[in-house]
Amino acid sequence: MIVMKFGGTSVGDAAAIERLVTIVADARAEQPLVVVSAMSKITNALVALDDLIAAGDASAIEYAIAELEARHAVAADGLQLAAITQAPIGELFAALRQAAVAGLSQPSSPERRDLICGFGELLSSRLVVGAFDARRVQVEWFDARSAITTDDHFGAAIPRESEIEARAQRLLPVLTAGRVVVTQGFIGATRDGVPTTLGRGGSDFSAALFGAALGASRVEIWTDVDGLMSADPRVVPEARLLASATYDEAAELAAFGAKVLHPATQLPLVEAGIPIVIRNTFAPERPGTWIRADDGEEDALPVRSISFKPGVTVVQIRAPRMLGAYGFLRRIFEVFERHEVVVDVLATSEVSVSLTVDDVSRLDAVIRDLRLVGEVGVRAQRGVIAVVGRGIRETPGIAARVYTAIADVNVEMISQGASASNLTFIVKEADGPAVVRALHRTFFPEVA
């Protein structure tokens, strides 16, 4: 079997869903499990709805839900879905209204946010099932929450892979019988059945979890670009397609801003060696990018791609009195651990440590505790640039070329990744796109 995951724009309207149906129907011999995201922008709208629920403005809530309803109704009409296949969509909107009433004027909680945000995938998957039905393709809707068991870290729940494997097995006979199965990305549930999500962009991760659980021969990620490219094509329009990449390269790029793949996607797949293939829903004839342990490209360019992640905050801790003393790093990391704040990029010297965080919601408490260790400085609105390629460490002069290319930019912090395949540094967020373009011209001069 194979897993075919379709992202937000790939289910964004009736025309996109029609493409999806054709693409999946063409792959039916391979027994596809279809994993879908919410229609584009719907998850953002649901996050906003959760804020409206907290604010308690009943008419604004009703307006927002009616807008969501209209967007799905337009798609259902475009797909000419019969009323009977539209009934579950009506039930979902009734449940969403009920959740809004139940939570009215109560402050948001991560648990409620996951409940509300999860409606996007439930809705889109019903539209997709309806589209298959309307075209007489045998199809079954599957509730991902009954298989994707997670812990209760709402907002970024951790999947329990062995339970997922056991629970997903019941899909195999359905797939073997030649029925297309459609399920949701992004959502799961705790053992007690409380809805959770895997975090924003998490549908790719869901696809990988299903792929690993079912021993898929590959996991296809269908999106709105040709594959993994040498830079975000929105920033560098002339970016080129990578025919292949390793799991490590893809993971580094994803972790540092290449939104095309969720950073955890490869995790469940590495052990079984299941490849990921990124494909373009709007140009299915193109080959896409193959991602595996060893892509067999001996003489690939040392630098494969350049990514940029905005919205990063840099925290610097200086403690001159720690010179020659031990325990400095441990004391710093204990603070982050205690407040459950994830650290991304790290650079150290003997008496100072710089690191970056994405999520600043608990930063005030972190800083208070860090002040007990040393002087603390904070710089917001920064971005991480990552230059990624497995040849970076072996190829002399890459760092020099990087710094020449960006000589006139103020680089604030440099970190050579512990893996052999990246070089990361911090710049002001506003400088990010120009830096990516300058680096791209340096390493891919033929397309500049």
Residues in contact with ligand ADP by the rule CB under 6 A? 7-10, 37, 201, 223-225, 228-229, 231-234, 253, 258-260, 305, 307
Q: Which is nearer to ligand ADP, 142 or 186 (CB)?
A: 186
- In a 13 Å sphere around the CA of 64, the CA atoms on its Cβ side amount to 23
Distances in Å between the Cα of 86 and the Cα atoms of 77, 131, 145 are: 10, 10, 21
Site for Mg ion in 3-62 (CB under 5 A): 7
For helices 110-117 and 119-134, give the axis angle rounded to 10 degrees. Answer: 10
CA distance linking residue 92 with residue 187, whole number of Å: 15
Binding residues for ligand ASP, rule CB under 6 A, total 12
Phi, psi of 30 (to 5 degrees): -95, 10
Binding-site member from 103, 120, 275, 417 for ligand ASP (CB under 6 A): 120
Neighbouring residues of 260: CB distance < 8 A, sequence distance ≥ 6: 221, 223, 225, 227, 228, 229, 254, 278
Is 37 an interacting residue with respect to ligand ASP (CB under 6 A)?
yes
Site for ligand ASP in 241-260 (CB under 6 A): none
* 312: β partners: 382
CB of 185 to ligand ASP, least distance (A): 5
CA distance linking residue 295 with residue 299, whole number of Å: 11
DSSP string covering 255-271: HTT-TTS-TTTTHHHHT
CB of 233 to ligand ADP, least distance (A): 6
CA distance linking residue 261 with residue 238, whole number of Å: 20
> Between 181 and 220, how does the x/- string for binding to ligand ASP read (CB under 6 A)?
----xx-------------xxxx-----------------
For helices 58-78 and 119-134, give the axis angle rounded to 10 degrees. Answer: 20
**E-state strands within 389-428:** 413-416, 422-428
Answer with the entry of ligand ASP, ligand ADP, Mg ion, none that 188 interacts with (C-beta below 5 to 8 A by kind).
none
Q: Which is nearer to Mg ion, 201 or 432 (CB)?
A: 201
Residues 355, 357, 363, 366: what is their CA dihedral angle, to the nearest 10 degrees?
Answer: -40
Answer with the entry of ligand ASP, Mg ion, ligand ADP, none that 232 interacts with (C-beta below 5 to 8 A by kind).
ligand ADP
Q: In this structure, are residues 214 and 34 in contact, taking their beta carbons and an 8 Å threshold?
A: no
* 241: β partners: 229
CB of 143 to ligand ASP, least distance (A): 16
Is 8 an interacting residue with respect to ligand ASP (CB under 6 A)?
yes
Binding-site member from 185, 201, 288, 374 for Mg ion (CB under 5 A): 201
Which one of the spans 194-202, 364-372, 399-407, 440-448 is the region binding Mg ion (CB under 5 A)? 194-202
Q: Nearest to ligand ADP by Cβ — which residue?
A: 7
Phi, psi of 244 (to 5 degrees): -155, 165
Which one of the spans 17-25, 37-45, 223-231, 400-408 is the region binding ligand ASP (CB under 6 A)? 37-45
How many CB atoms are located within 10 Å of the residue 269 CB? 24
CB of 239 to ligand ADP, least distance (A): 7
DSSP string covering 343-361: EEEEEE-SSEEEEEES--T
Answer with the entry of Mg ion, ligand ASP, ligand ADP, none that 186 interacts with (C-beta below 5 to 8 A by kind).
ligand ASP
Answer with the entry of ligand ADP, Mg ion, ligand ASP, none that 224 interacts with (C-beta below 5 to 8 A by kind).
ligand ADP
CB of 176 to ligand ADP, least distance (A): 28
Site for Mg ion in 203-222 (CB under 5 A): none
CB of 226 to ligand ADP, least distance (A): 8
Q: Which is nearer to ligand ADP, 151 or 344 (CB)?
A: 344
CB of 209 to ligand ASP, least distance (A): 13
The residues of the shown chain that bind ligand ASP, judged by CB under 6 A, are: 7-8, 37-38, 43, 120, 185-186, 200-203
